[in-house]
A = this chain, B = another copy of it.
Amino acid sequence: MTDTGRSPDTNRSWRLDRRPDSDPADGNLRLHREGLPEIADGEILVRNVYLSIDPTHRIWMSDIDQYMDPVELGDVMRGGTIGVVEQTRSSRLSVGDIVTGQGGWQDYCALSARMVRKIELASGLPLTAYMGPLGNIGATAYFGLLEIGKPRPGETVVVSAAAGAVGSLVGQIAKLMGCHVVGIAGSDEKCAWLTDDLGFDASVNYKSGSIYDTLEAACPNGIDVYFDNVGGEILDTALTLINLNARIATCGLISTYNDLEQGGQGPKMYRNVLMKRATIRGFIVSDFLRRYPEAFAAIRHWLRIGALQYRVDVREGLEHAPDVLKLLFSGRHDGKLIVKISEEP
């Protein structure tokens, strides 16, 4: 076993050591080692199996006013996990149960049994699916598109970061709703995946040529719904092309996250909010927590009939988690990024 490897009587945890200036580069998080956490009444000890790596981790590292408290310096880095109950002091859960919750960037965690959700495995679906279409990712795509975007058949739906975990689901669900679907992604290979494999009507490589010209060509009837994962210039371009009564679901602004402390530029075409009587609404998926079963019932059905595809990109080893976060921002990954911390039960 290497120096960085996991052992059954040690808890390794990535703690926030300093706040990033721009990139969430090395040195902001530090790997600590200690004994396993003790659990109190009502709590469970969970061995983390998978850690979800998400753009919002970058936000949590910054001490700005945000939708949750920032992670405090010295605290374990926050993160969504799937794990196995190894000890329990709650009647709600048994040893061996598989649960999902905010286990953090660590090998083990003590969690209130009320703060996790037990996963009932459906036949034929791997555990990682519960970190993708049957987890927050899927719920984000489902509620963001359907509740905020409110697409109607025949309308044009544009999604940015379309080859990403959320974006690829958004586009496929929009196709199921009968929309003309255009995805924006950062390579020809990703773009080809969207149209050839996922059934998008068109895709736009934002790194190739004028994003305005290519997006306009891909949306001959304008844009009715824009599902925004990135903000910045692409948002501005989308705003330029929106139709009357367009809806913009603001799910993420990843292009601006490394600029948080300085503030951003803001969309130059903001005036179209008025001119087009558009609605822009920001959301986080936990706003819809009580309605997750509804989303997962639909998504499970769509997975079963083969209408939804997804990719996961699993990287081994908690010790590599900060590198995986950097990878997320580079775009050089292939599906929902997950760190595998320990073996599946």
Chain A residues engaging chain B, CB cutoff 8 angstroms: 59, 64-67, 231, 236, 244, 250-253, 256, 260, 263-284, 287
Give A241's nearest chain B residue, CB to CB: B65
Contact in complex: B236, A275 (CB < 8 Å): no
Contact in complex: B274, A282 (CB < 8 Å): yes
Q: Which of A268, A274, A276, A278 has the most CB of B within 10 A?
A: A274
- 9 tightest Cβ-Cβ pairs between the two chains A and B: A266-B266, A274-B282, A273-B282, A280-B280, A279-B281, A266-B267, A263-B268, A266-B270, A66-B275
A316 to B244, CA, bound (A): 37
The distance from the CB of A241 to the nearest CB of chain B, in whole angstroms, is 10
A270 to B230, CA, bound (A): 12
Residues of chain B contacted by A263 (CB below 8 angstroms): 268-269, 271
Q: Which of A59, A65, A282 has the most CB of B within 10 A?
A: A282
Contact in complex: A268, B266 (CB < 8 Å): yes
Contact in complex: A266, B236 (CB < 8 Å): yes
Residues of chain B contacted by A65 (CB below 8 angstroms): 272, 275
Given A250-B273, A266-B269, A273-B282; 15 other pairs, CB 8 A cutoff: A59-B275, A67-B276, A67-B277, A231-B271, A250-B274, A253-B270, A263-B268, A264-B269, A265-B265, A266-B266, A266-B267, A267-B270, A277-B283, A277-B284, A278-B282
Copy total for this chain: 2
Residues of chain B contacted by A281 (CB below 8 angstroms): 273, 277-280
The distance from the CB of A84 to the nearest CB of chain B, in whole angstroms, is 33
Contact in complex: A253, B280 (CB < 8 Å): no
Q: Which of A269, A272, A275 has the most CB of B within 10 A?
A: A275
The distance from the CB of A185 to the nearest CB of chain B, in whole angstroms, is 21
A67 to B65, CA, bound (A): 35
Residues of chain B contacted by A236 (CB below 8 angstroms): 266
Residues of chain B contacted by A273 (CB below 8 angstroms): 250, 280-282
Give A228's nearest chain B residue, CB to CB: B274
A264 to B274, CA, bound (A): 13
The distance from the CB of A78 to the nearest CB of chain B, in whole angstroms, is 16
The distance from the CB of A164 to the nearest CB of chain B, in whole angstroms, is 16
Residues of chain B contacted by A67 (CB below 8 angstroms): 244, 274-277
The distance from the CB of A129 to the nearest CB of chain B, in whole angstroms, is 27
A264: which of B66, B271, B280 is its contact (CB, 8 Å)? B271
Contact in complex: B269, A276 (CB < 8 Å): no
Residues of chain B contacted by A283 (CB below 8 angstroms): 277
The distance from the CB of A273 to the nearest CB of chain B, in whole angstroms, is 4
Contact in complex: A270, B264 (CB < 8 Å): yes
A264 to B276, CA, bound (A): 16
The distance from the CB of A193 to the nearest CB of chain B, in whole angstroms, is 27
Residues of chain B contacted by A270 (CB below 8 angstroms): 231, 253, 264, 266-267, 270
The distance from the CB of A179 to the nearest CB of chain B, in whole angstroms, is 21
Contact in complex: A264, B268 (CB < 8 Å): yes
A298 to B263, CA, bound (A): 42
Residues of chain B contacted by A231 (CB below 8 angstroms): 270-271
- Please list 14 pairs of residues, one from A and one from B, whose beta carbons are closer than 8 Å in the complex, sorted by A's number: A65-B272, A67-B275, A67-B276, A236-B266, A250-B273, A263-B269, A263-B271, A264-B269, A266-B268, A273-B281, A274-B282, A277-B281, A277-B283, A279-B281
